[in-house]
Amino acid sequence: MFGLGLPEVLIILVILLLFGAKRLPDIGEGLGKTVREIRRIRGEKKAEKTQNEEEKKMPKGNLISDLKKEVEDIPGLKEVRTIKETTEKVKNLTRLLK
C-alpha cells in the first residue's frame, strides 16, 4: 500500500480522527509554511556565516590609517580645518595684543 506500513497508516487515521477531513488542508498549508520559513532562516544563516568567514579572510589593514582615509573623504572637511586654523591664529593674535 504505497510503501506505508501499519504504523504510518495508524498515524494517518489518528490525525483524521483528531482533526477531521475538513481541517487537513489547513494543517498541510501550515506545515508547508513552517517548512519554507525554516528553509529561509537556514539560508540566511548560511549566507551570514559565509559572509563572516569572508570578512575573516580579508587582510587586516591598519585600522587607524583606514579611519584617516575615511575621514579625509568627508566633503568639506578641508574647509573646516582651514577655518579652525585661522580662528586659532586670530585667538593667538588677540592674546598677544592684550
Cell of 94: 588677540
pLDDT tens readout for residues 42-73: 998 888 888 888 777 766 667 777 777 777 77
Q: Which residues contact residue 4 at a Cβ distance below 8 angstroms, ignoring those fewer than 6 apart?
A: 12
Contact 27, 19 (CB under 8 A): yes
Which of 24, 26, 28, 3 lies closest to 13, judged by CA? 24
At 39 the pLDDT is 93
Q: What is the pTM of this model?
A: 0.43
| Residue of higher predicted confidence among 55 and 79 | 79
pLDDT tens readout for residues 20-44: 888 888 888 998 999 999 999 999 8
Cell of 69: 582615509
